[in-house]
């Protein structure tokens, strides 16, 4: 019997993750790679895949996957798009993104999940399919989950729990947290279809007048069509008719590309909501369980994966006994990721509202705004930085002297020996980079590398999620050791 079929709970595990969507799979893989015992609980049977909604994988997500050694696997499954076309014929080039991945990768969400599931299993995470979490109780030392399995109810106790169980999160409800916000897009129609006249470009996407449509190939002859009309008022449960999809698509794209033979059709609505607290005691929320917004900009899955990357090393440091201030480190997950979630909510809301402006005066103002944005490079860079995730950083830790690069994304710099920084991050721990000849701070659980000879005079401590923890020009050995000690307890001095 495989772990996936065995519904018997483990004894107490370090972390139980609820929900094996992209967020939960990345998180469970990271925690298991750090040597923790991890159980990922998923209510779907193993044979029922998650519904593929996302197609866009942005540059920062690919960098995080590079730091786990799986970016190339995912890139090989999809197509690279080097322009974003947000609305009204406007195009933003991604080529100037200062990243190893200056493009959006278009690949179905199931490909991302396959790569992450393989990694989670190979690092030792246990995935229990067909198990639904129905309740949660926590005390000072642990959290216990109530789980319904095909063989009856069971309980699983863990030192920490992370709810990555999507927009209708049971974990969020069990914590009694509200999910305030509003509906933004009603009656969005999704279908998998065949086309008699496939688009010349890889993707077909446009918003015109009151209609929006997107057609993306799965790569096997099937296409996912997504269409929305401003006047749509149907409930999610109302049946979808292919003719409705074709009419909206024609209004938006000028053609329906000869859509026929739908194998699946569904109706969705999209909300803009965010939970007020990402942490309650020993329980955390990440991904759609913590924030949802419209699909505009393709940022939902990407933001969830980045939540997971931010939380996993913090839990690993605390449970591994390496953090000098465990409570503050765990609290920093909410402090860093909640503002990012709010920003993404606002950005995707602004995109959808701008794409769908109704009256001619507003459309003229939009055209003017688009023309200005096309000429004004700093504004373009800010917009691209946000959507791609490359421009997202965190406030420096309290008490840091400014100016500082602490909290910023660390670019993928070359290191001595022909290695890149993101390859060095594959150990899953902190990376210290110093000029050649500098010693490793004694006992520190980190990877120490040097810059190629004569290149740089700075010392930089990079967090496992690829953000700068500390940096200083010409720092001496004592200053470097003290900066490292503020993040990591030396081996043998566990709290
Ligand atoms: C039309 C559309 C297009 C989109 N396009 C993009 C895009 O291009 N790029 C992008 O980044 N995002 C996109 N998104 C958003 C993206 O699909 C989601 O943000 C992403 O799936 C969230 O991942 P998650 O792991 O947080 O949650 P989910 O993918 O929802 O996974 C949650 C998992 O938890 C399981 N679960 C739920 N309850 C329980 C329970 N009680 N017990 C056990 N298991 C449970 C579910 O079965 C599921 O497997 C799009 C969304 C829509 C609607």
Give the N- to C-terminal CA distance of the chain in Å, as an integer: 39
pLDDT band at 87 (very low <50, low <70, confident <90, very high): low
User: Residue 27 in contact with residue 19, Cβ under 8 Å?
Assistant: no
d(CA 166, CA 85): 28
pLDDT band at 2 (very low <50, low <70, confident <90, very high): very low
| Rounded distance from Cα 8 to ligand 1 centre (Å) | 26
The pLDDT score that the predictor gives to residue 50 is: 85
What average pLDDT does this structure show over 399-423? 90
d(CA 252, CA 257): 12
DSSP conformation class of 228: E
Report the chain's mean pLDDT, rounded to a whole number.
90
Residue nearest (by alpha carbon) to ligand 1 atom 20: 301
Please return the burial class of 490, using the count of CB atoms within 10 Å of its CB with bins 0-12, 13-18 and 19+: middle
For the chain, give the percent of residues with pLDDT over 90.
Answer: 69
Q: Report helix, strand or coil for 274.
A: strand
The pLDDT score that the predictor gives to residue 278 is: 98
pLDDT band at 270 (very low <50, low <70, confident <90, very high): confident
Output the ligand 1 site: residues, CB below 6 A.
18-24, 41-44, 50, 53-56, 109, 132-133, 164-166, 170, 190, 226, 268, 270, 287-288, 295, 298-302, 304
pLDDT band at 33 (very low <50, low <70, confident <90, very high): very high
Atom of ligand 1 nearest to the CA of 22: 25
| Rounded distance from Cα 311 to ligand 1 centre (Å) | 18
Token pair 């190339």 is at which residue? 72
Give tens-digit pLDDT for 287-330: 999 999 988 888 999 999 999 999 999 999 999 999 999 999 99
| Rounded distance from Cα 348 to ligand 1 centre (Å) | 16
**Residue 3 reports pLDDT greater than 60:** no
Higher-confidence residue of 87 and 340: namely: 340
């Amino acid at each position: 019997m495989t772990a996936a079929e065995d519904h018997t709970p483990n004894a107490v595990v370090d972390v139980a993750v609820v929900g094996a969507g992209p967020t939960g799979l990345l998180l469970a893989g990271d925690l298991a790679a750090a040597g923790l015992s991890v159980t990922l609980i998923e209510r779907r049977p193993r044979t029922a895949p998650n519904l593929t909604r996302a197609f866009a994988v942005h540059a920062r997500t690919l960098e995080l996957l590079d730091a786990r050694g799986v970016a190339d696997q995912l890139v090989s499954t999809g197509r690279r798009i080097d322009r974003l076309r947000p609305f009204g014929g406007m195009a933003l080039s991604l080529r100037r993104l200062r990243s190893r991945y200056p493009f959006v990768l278009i690949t179905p969400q199931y490909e991302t999940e396959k790569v992450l599931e393989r990694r989670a299993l190979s690092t030792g995470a246990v995935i229990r399919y067909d198990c639904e979490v129905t309740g949660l109780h926590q005390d000072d030392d642990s959290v216990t989950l109530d789980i319904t399995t095909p063989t009856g109810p069971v309980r699983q106790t863990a030192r920490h729990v992370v709810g990555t169980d999507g927009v209708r999160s049971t974990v969020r409800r069990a914590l009694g947290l509200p999910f305030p916000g509003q509906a933004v897009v009603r009656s969005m129609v999704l279908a998998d279809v065949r086309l008699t006249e496939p688009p010349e470009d890889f993707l077909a996407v446009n918003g015109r007048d009151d209609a929006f449509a997107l057609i993306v190939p799965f790569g096997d002859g099937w296409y996912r069509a997504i269409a929305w009309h401003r006047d749509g008022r149907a409930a999610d449960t109302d049946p979808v008719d292919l003719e409705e999809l074709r009419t909206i698509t024609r209004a938006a794209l000028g053609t329906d590309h000869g859509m026929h033979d739908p194998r699946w059709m569904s109706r969705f609505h999209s909300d803009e909501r965010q939970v007020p607290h990402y942490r309650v005691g020993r329980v955390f929320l990440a991904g759609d369980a913590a924030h949802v917004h419209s699909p505009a900009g393709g940022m939902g899955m990407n933001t969830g994966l980045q939540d997971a990357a931010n939380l996993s090393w913090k839990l690993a440091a605390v449970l591994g006994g390496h953090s000098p201030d465990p409570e503050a480190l765990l609290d920093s997950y909410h402090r860093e990721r909640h503002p990012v979630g709010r920003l993404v909510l606002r950005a995707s809301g602004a995109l959808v509202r701008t794409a769908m402006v109704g009256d001619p005066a507003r459309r003229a103002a939009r055209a003017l705004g688009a023309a200005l944005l096309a000429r004004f490079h700093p504004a373009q860079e800010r917009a691209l930085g946000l959507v791609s995730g490359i421009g997202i950083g965190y406030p420096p830790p309290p008490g840091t002297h400014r100016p500082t690069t602490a909290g910023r994304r660390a670019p993928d710099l070359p290191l001595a020996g022909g290695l890149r920084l993101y390859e060095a991050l594959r150990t899953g721990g902190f990376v210290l980079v110093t000029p050649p000849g500098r010693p490793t701070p004694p006992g520190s659980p980190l990877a120490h590398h040097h810059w190629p000879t004569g290149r740089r005079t700075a010392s930089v401590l990079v967090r496992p999620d690829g953000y700068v923890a500390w940096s200083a020009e010409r720092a001496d050995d004592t200053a470097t050791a003290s900066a490292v000690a503020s993040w990591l307890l030396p081996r043998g001095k566990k709290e």
